Structures are given as structure tokens and as C-alpha cells.
Structure 1
Amino acid sequence: HVGVECPIALQLDQLWELVDLSERTRRHCMQLENCCYGRNEMRVLRMAHAGLFGDLLHGAGAYNHDLRGLMFDPDYYEGPWRRLWHTRLRGDLYPNHGFGPVANYMDINRGDRAVSITSVGSPALGLAEYREKHMPAGDPSWKETYIESDRTISLVQTAKGRVIRLEHDVSTPHPYSRINSLGGTKGVFEDYPARIYIEPDHTNDSWGDFSKYQDWDHWLWKEHANPPGGHGGMDYMLVFRLMQCMRLGLVPDFDVYDAATWTAPVPLSHLSIKAKGAPQQIPDFTRGEWKKARSGMDSEDPEKA
């Protein structure tokens, strides 16, 4: 079995190759998407599946993270690979952290499907301005021309008519945010900072305290309340759960179909921006299997069943 960093590939034909190979070899190929295992994400997942947000209507996810200093740091990344992608593509280079959790809330590939994506992008100014201020004459970066939009915004439409907004911005100054929002007929959750407004709990037009919903924590976060490791413990949760599934012979919480779907915005957002926002069709990597119910992130502890 194989676990892959994100994005899992950069072209549609490569995504199909991975799907075909996983099916042919009967080996799991999953993206190691740690953000799906964040405490807030897993709590919202359980609340959504329990109907606390009503019928789901919209969600949002992002990777808005000021990486200018790191991208020009000669020691942080192995070579300038991350910065060079800003010379090659204009679309969302890193949709997975935002797309994955919202897709789980909405049971994408498990009763609903991402059908199309429409993207727009701002001018590409941030990296060049940062280079002007911080990089000495003669630095290799001065040979680069950046075309990646400083901010890309994409709208994904699902088969059920739901809307998912994706954002990407790593080249302008702003606080870190994955947005992580979910809305339905009974209310809405928004992260960064975490806040909630659902009926009948909140009726005074003011955000509620999300910490009061700890009873809805996923069993992983109840059993491992203070996990070690980085990113607030989500990395540990990912590794623990993946090892548990492999050890017990269980299907992992997400699979090659999810990895391909969550990565498809990389090439498709680029094409949409080039076509002045024209919608691009997202392939059905499941070949129709998305219509059938199957297991996903909202699991029970298999060792206590």
C-alpha cells in the first residue's frame, strides 16, 4: 500500500494512472492528508453527519499561508522547487488541505460527487515584490518570472448542487487560514477562529462558542486527547489511524478516488483561469461508484466494536 504527500499528482492523466494502478494491483493509494484529522475538522464531520447543520448547502476550504520567506530560503526546501511552480501554473497549487475536510463533510465520492470547477485568479505580484525587497542582485531567483495568481478562488459544484469554495494564497502577507467552513439549512460553522451558529442553540445573531461542542469529538480525539507531534496532533492521528487500518485489514478512511478528486483542482483551476473562468469538468474517478454508500472518515473504534 502507498501513502503520498499532497498533491498526489499534477496532471489529469497522472491521476487516472494512479486510479488504474490502485485498482489493478488491489493496493491502496491514499493521500496523507493530515488536515482531515484535525480536531475541529473531525468534530464538524460528526456534527454534520448527525444532522446538526441540516441539509448541507455550502462549504469552504483554503491554503492561505504566507510562505514568501520560506520559498526564498535556500535551506528550508530542497532547491527552489516550490517557488518554481509559481513560474509554471496559474491555478490552485495546493487545494487538498482545504478540499479534503469539506469533501468529507459532504460525503463526496460516497453519495455526492464533485462535478465541475470554476476558477479566477488575481495578478501575480507578491513574489516579485518580495524578491525586490529581500533578495540580492545575482540571486538565481532573479531569472524567474512568476505567473501564479497571488490569490486563486475556485467554486466547485457537486452533483447535489452544493457549492464548495476553495482559495489558495501563499505569496501575500496574511494570517494562516484554511477557512474550514460548512453551512446548511440549520446553521453554519467557520474556523480561524472557530465559531458556530446553529438553530436552535443560537438565535441572537451572535456567534456561539464552538468549544461547548466537545461531546461531538471524534473517538480518535477522545482516546488521544493530547497527541504528540506537529500540526496540533493531526499528524499523529493520521499515522495512528492509517497503521490501525493496515494492521486490522480495514479500508482506510479515504482512498485513491478521494486523492484524485482532491487533487484535480490543480490542473483544472489552471485551465479555468486561462479560459477566463470557464467551468472545467471534474472526472468521475469512481466510475459511478460514488452513488453507493461506503465507509469514510466518520468511523467507529474498530478495537472496541
Structure 2
Amino acid sequence: MSKIQKPRIGIIGLGQRGFDLLRVVFVPMAQHDIIEITACCDFYEDRAEKGAAYTEEQLGKRPFTTTNWKEVVDHPEVDAVLVLTAWESHVDMCIYSMRAGKKVGVEVGCTYNIEDCYRLVRAYEETGIHCMMLENCCYGRRELMALNMVREGIFGSVVHCSGGYMHDLRDEIVNGDVNRHYRQRNYLLRNCENYPTHELGPIMQILDINNGNRFVTLNSVSSCAKGLHEYAVEHRGADDPVSKLNFAQGDIVTTVLKCADGRTVVLTLDTTLPRSYSRGLTVRGTKALYTMDGDYIFFDGNNHEATVKDLVNNPENAAEDLSAKYEHRIWKEYRENPIGGHEGIDWLAYNAFVESIREDITPPIDTYDTATLMCISTLSEQSIAMGGAPVAVPDFTSGRWITRTEIQEEAKGYYTLKK
């Protein structure tokens, strides 16, 4: 493929997430002459119309509008496709786009069987067109700062990482039948680590997964499911149909991943009990510790009896005070002119995707990374069903992870995560 200076983008999926991205990322990108929005699509006609009308209002030109996603992919004025739909539809839409010669970016999500991941990889290997998972947390300020510190050797040898998705979603899930949100049916029918990519995406960069290292085994266990039922009874009444449903998804899912080099990862899914938001990134090394909860760095030689309060209030440990020293280059520049949603991480992730099109380079999160992130839900579902038994993590690179370290030396693009 050739470079495309101003990619023409087709958007598939304009629900809550899709429309928010249109408003805070895509339209501003078009206003900055980075992209052109040429197609809007959603299964629901009102959502497609809302997205198209907003685009026309802001940019003065109405995009092609449809409820048939294949019409977006096949449209001659679409260079690249953004898949922002329900999880169940991601893989088929991505593969169809790749085989149509369109580069594709897909919002975070999970798969329902391992074969879908292999199908995605085969589509790349047969077409040469990558699918980039748009994992915005890979561009989080603290995630990139931790990655920069790892690359600078501040942690010594990294031994263990942890993180997860800790976010009270009870209202969104319980009322999914009203607000047309796909999470409700997933929580009714599956019990798994359904949202692993926060923080696994950033952790994969820290541990060089698919670039000299890989995941080999996974174990998952789940708690019982109480939170959604009690929330439904309290907020919709005991006689409401949703209150009579049995949600399969456990309230807390804990997943352990073992790497080929012996390092470990713990992921936590915690979305159906009352709590504050956290991604909980923690990096443990032989010389230092960073934890997002508390936002401090503990260095070898610090007082091991210091409390969290002591560390948070000490400028020699508080991450914000140390950011001038360890901030990643991307965030040093971004903070001078911040744009976009989710504190900037959406703007950075989507610009990374667009850069891969404009420069015709491998995206920073490539198809192998995308497949690895997607497969975790299926593997965790299997492990939970077997009482937490270990399951093998597929090697989607077919052994090339051993030699793909060359990617780090040859990484191109401003938004690369490899250097």
C-alpha cells in the first residue's frame, strides 16, 4: 500500500462510545486537516443519522450514511475503517475490511473463540494489511511513563506486573436493555475476563510480548455473581424482568498469566460492585516499584517502613513530582497542546492509527498484538469453567516472537511504543 496523506475514514458504530469519539476525536482531527470523515454507519438508524448530522453540522459536509456496515467498507471514498461496535461483530468486520484492502482500527474488546483470533492473523498474513486494536491505555500518561522508566532501566529487572479494569458499570449493564448496550447480554451469558486490554495492552509493551517474549499459560478464577442482581432489585424493583435474570458474570475475576521468560502478570476485572475507577497498573522490579493506586514510585533503598501516605507526600517518591524526570517523550509534547477525550489517550491512540496510514508503516499495536489481547477472554472462560486450571496461550506469531525483537530497532513513527 502507499502513503495516504489525509485518510478518508469510515466509521462503523455510533453508540455511546462511537459518538463520543466522533465528538472529541474524529471531528477535531478533521478540523485539524488530519483526516476526512466520509462515511457513518450504525445498526440503529437513529444513531447513524445522529452521527452524520453532527459531522455535517461541524464540518459542513454530510458523510455517506447507512445501516449496512459492508457498504462503508466497500465505499470507494473510504481508505480506512474504524470498528466501534459491539464485541461480537469486531472480528468479522475487521477481516472483511482487511480483505477489501482497507486498513482497520478496532476498539477494545474480546473474542468468543480462539479460531477468530487465528482468522484475524491469517487475514493479515494473506493481505499484508494490519488490524490495530485501539487500546488507548497504551498511551496513558502513567503507562507511558512506566514504560519509559523500564526502558531506562529504573526498575532493574522487571519481575511482575498487575493491573485491570476496575470500574463500577452496574448502571450501564443493568439498564443495557434500555440504552441498547451489548454489555448486558455478555454479562448474562458469559463468565470470563471480558475486558483484559486495560491494562494488559500497556503491560504487553513493558514485558516485550510478541517481541522477544510471550504469554505461555493463563489461569482464571471468578467470584460469585451478586452485584448486578442486587443493583437491579434496588433500582428497577424486584418484579422487573431484569431483576429476575441470572447473571453469569462473576463480580471479581482474577487472571494470572505466565510469560516464557518466567515473569508474571495478574489482571483483575471488577465492574459490578461499588468502587472508584482504577486501572491499577503496578510494575515490580529488582530496583523499584510503581503503583498507579497511590501514584508513587518506591526505590530500592527507600525506607521500607514508610506508609503509602508518606510516599505520596514525598517529592522523591510521588510520581507527579518525578514526571519531569521520567515523562515519556509523547506526553512531554502532548501536554503543551492537549486535545481529545479520556485525558488525551483517545487522541493519541487514534492519531497513532492514522499515522500508520499516512506513513504506510506497521501500527504500534499490530495484528499479532491485537489477537493476543482478544484471546484472553476465551481462555479465561475456559479456565474458570475448569476451576482455575491452566490453559495454554496460543502463539499467534508461530514462533516469530523469538526473533521479532528486530521490530524494536526498526520501529518507525512518532507514536511507536517500541522505543
Q: Could you state the TM-score of these two structures normalised by the residue count of structure 2?
A: 0.68
Q: Does 1:266 align with 2:377?
A: yes
Matched, 1:102 2:203: yes
**Residue identity in the other structure for 1:227:** P
Whether the 8 Å contact between 1:71 and 1:77 is mirrored in structure 2 is: no
After superposition, what is the alpha-carbon deviation per residue over 1:83-123, rounded to whole angstroms, capped at 9, x for unaligned?
11112111111001111111111111111101110111100
Confirm whether residue 277 of structure 1 aligns to residue 388 of structure 2: yes
242, 245, 250: which is aligned to 1:149? 250
The question of whether the paired residues in 2 share the 8 Å contact of 1:46 and 1:298 is answered with: no
Classify the secondary structure of the residue corresponding to 1:264.
helix
Check if 1:210 corresponds to 2:210. no
Q: Which has the higher contact order (CA 8 A, sep 6+)?
A: 1
Aligned-pair identity in percent equals: 34
User: After the TM superposition, which of the residue ranges 128-137 and 31-40 deviates more from structure 2?
Assistant: 128-137
Conserved 8 A contact 1:227-1:237: no
Q: Is the 8 A contact 1:70 1:76 kept in 2?
A: no
Q: How far off its partner does 1:177 sit?
A: 1.1
Taking the aligned partners of 2:201 and 2:113, their CA distance within structure 1 comes to: 18
- The correspondence of residues 110-259 of structure 1 with structure 2, limited to 5 A, is 110-136=211-237, 139-199=240-300, 202-203=302-303, 205-206=305-306, 207=311, 208-211=317-320, 212-225=322-335, 226-259=337-370
After superposition, the Cα gap between the structure-2 partners of 1:267 and 1:297, relative to the gap in structure 1 and judged at 3 Å, is farther
Question: For the residues of structure 2 that align with 1:264 and 1:89, how far apart are their CA atoms?
Answer: 14
- Shift of the 103–297 alpha-carbon distance from structure 1 to 2, 3 Å rule, reads farther
Contact 1:42 1:217 in 2 (8 A): yes
Aligned residue pair count: 301
Q: Summarize deviations over 1:172-200 as a string: whole Å, max 9, x none.
A: 00111111111111111100231111235
Q: Is the 8 A contact 1:253 1:296 kept in 2?
A: no
Corresponding position of 1:295:
407
Determine helix, strand or coil for the equivalent of 2:105: strand
**Is it true that 1:83 corresponds to 2:184 in the alignment?**
yes
Q: Secondary structure at the match of 1:86?
A: helix
The CA distance in 1 between the partners of 2:277 and 2:342, in whole Å, is 13
SS in 1 for 2:407: coil
Is residue 134 of structure 2 the alignment partner of residue 32 of structure 1?
yes
Equivalent residue of 1:153, what SS?
strand
Higher helix share: 2
Paired with 1:222 and 1:179, the residues of 2 have a C-alpha distance of 23
**CA-to-partner distance for each residue in 1:32-77, whole Å, 9 max, x for gaps?**
1001000110111011011110111000110111000122335884
Q: How does 1:14-25 map to 2 (within 5 A)?
A: 14-25=116-127
What SS is found at the alignment partner of 2:126? Answer: helix
* C-alpha RMSD over aligned residues: 2.2
Shift of the alpha carbon at 1:279?
A: 0.2
SS at match of 1:295: helix
Q: Which residue of 165, 175, 179 maps to 1:73?
A: 175
Structure 1 or 2, whichever has the larger Rg, is 2
Q: CA deviation at 1:302?
A: 4.6
Tell me the distance in 1 between the aligned counterparts of 2:258 and 2:275: 27
CA distance in 1, matches of 2:409, 2:318: 24
Equivalents in 2 of 1:298, 1:192: separation in Å? 34
Q: SS in structure 2 opposite 1:117?
A: strand
Does structure 2 retain, via aligned residues, the 8 Å contact 1:109–1:257?
A: yes
Given that 2:340 and 2:346 are in contact with CA atoms closer than 8 Å, whether structure 1 keeps it comes out as yes
- Give the structure 1 partner of residue 104 of structure 2: 2
Residue 138 of structure 1: how far off its partner (Å): 5.4
TM-score, normalised via structure 1 length: 0.92
Change (3 A) 1:193 1:10: farther
Q: Which runs of 5+ in 1 are unaligned?
A: none
Aligned to 2:77: none
